[in-house]
Structure 1
């Protein structure tokens, strides 16, 4: 039985955000296709995501030197356990779905804070003399990104640090099946909003079918990101 972790990152209400609407549609399609699927959700704007601060960095140095969490000062123990709560939940899931807007060329700040809880040395990757080694394998991820401009091509391509950043982090820790629904440019062409939103919803349903097809080979042909546009990123 596959387990899913849905990570949403937009302070807007779900009905006011197309990225969240598409994310919800994908998760509902998964649940419909596989009612036994285990689905957990994190809304980073409603969950107390810990920030990497000086206390955590000090604790991390002690742990790297061989200390056990129980040997840390009480304040550091609390911070480490709070971070590792998200790390362990992430490790336990088989499939990740991220839904978020592209803001100022990057992901929302609280989503970045969440990423800092999942890219953790000795838990999701480890250092070796030959270089870092990922510790997660056999995982899958879907990135649902919305933006007002077009970043997949053209003059803004080099400014896209959303899906490209998340893909890099996920690949670094071992996730090697990543699909992107990129909804972009609808602030430029609002007349096509409904049609392009429907395209994104259809793509989400198609990917949901792939995600629940345990034991079936995944289509290599979908390795390329699908590009869509969205109104109201």
Structure 2
């Protein structure tokens, strides 16, 4: 049975382009894998905490006594990490904010990119422990960042590919919902992205 983890980030609800296209993707995945277990993690509805002292100590200590002391602070981080570890396919649907990812998504990343859990330090350097998984990025933006003068301003896809590769996820596909703030492109942005969903290799 395929296990799918869907991360939604946008707080715009039904007005969110990334959520709309992610919903199309989820429907296709359900058709392809009717027995799939889909876990939906909505970071806008339940914003994960940014790292504070207690959480940082909880997820970084290797001392059993310290683990017991900080176990309450580690509970959510452990739950989020377990969801990722259990998944075969990770879907991240997010808008671009100020050329980067929303802080809620960064908070989730900081809680799941953990030594001994999703990567480890080896003699030759870092080894990602999430190898063999797939990821799909659904990225919405007001402008166009796949080509043209704004391409170098895209700090979303390069960062997400880099951090996913760091933990061993290198099979990454991207669907773009571009030009949402450009009148000539806005109306077609979601339909074009939905067509791209149909072209994904799943």
TM over 0.5: yes
Comparing 26-35 with 48-57, greater Cα deviation is found at: 48-57
Unaligned runs of 5+ in 2: none
1:160, CA displacement in angstroms? 1.1
Checking the alignment, whether the CA contact within 8 Å between 1:100 and 1:107 is kept in structure 2 is: yes
SS at match of 2:181: coil
Checking the alignment, whether the CA contact within 8 Å between 1:142 and 1:179 is kept in structure 2 is: yes
Q: Which residue of structure 2 lines up, in the alignment, with residue 89 of structure 1?
A: 83
The answer to whether residue 181 in structure 2 is matched with residue 182 in structure 1 is no
Counterpart pick for 2:118 among 118, 124, 134: 124
Unaligned runs of 5+ in 1: 212-233
Q: Which runs of 4+ in 1 moved over 4 A?
A: none
Per-residue deviation, residues 67-98 of structure 1 (Å, max 9, x unmatched)? 12xx2276621111221110111100000111
Checking the alignment, whether the CA contact within 8 Å between 1:50 and 1:82 is kept in structure 2 is: no
Counterpart pick for 2:109 among 112, 115, 137: 115
Per-residue deviation, residues 114-142 of structure 1 (Å, max 9, x unmatched)? 11122111111011232111111110000
1:52, CA displacement in angstroms? 1.1
Q: Which residue of structure 2 lines up, in the alignment, with residue 214 of structure 1?
A: none
- Tell me the number of residue pairs that the alignment of Structure 1 and Structure 2 aligns: 202
Per-residue deviation, residues 20-60 of structure 1 (Å, max 9, x unmatched)? 10001100111122211111100001124132111223334
User: How many Å separate the matches in 1 of 2:171 and 2:144?
Assistant: 24
| Length-normalised TM-score, structure 1 | 0.81
User: How many Å separate the matches in 1 of 2:178 and 2:185?
Assistant: 12
Comparing 167-176 with 193-202, greater Cα deviation is found at: 193-202
| Length-normalised TM-score, structure 2 | 0.92
The answer to whether residue 45 in structure 2 is matched with residue 58 in structure 1 is no
Checking the alignment, whether the CA contact within 8 Å between 2:179 and 2:186 is kept in structure 1 is: no
SS at match of 2:188: helix
Q: Following superposition of structure 1 onto structure 2, how do residues 1-233 of structure 1 map, counting pairs within 5 Å?
A: 1-13=1-13, 15-63=14-62, 67-68=63-64, 71-72=65-66, 76-188=70-182, 190-207=183-200, 210-211=201-202
User: Is the alpha carbon distance of 1:32 and 1:60 closer, same or farther for their aligned partners in structure 2, counting shifts above 3 Å?
Assistant: closer
User: How many Å separate the matches in 1 of 2:191 and 2:87?
Assistant: 29
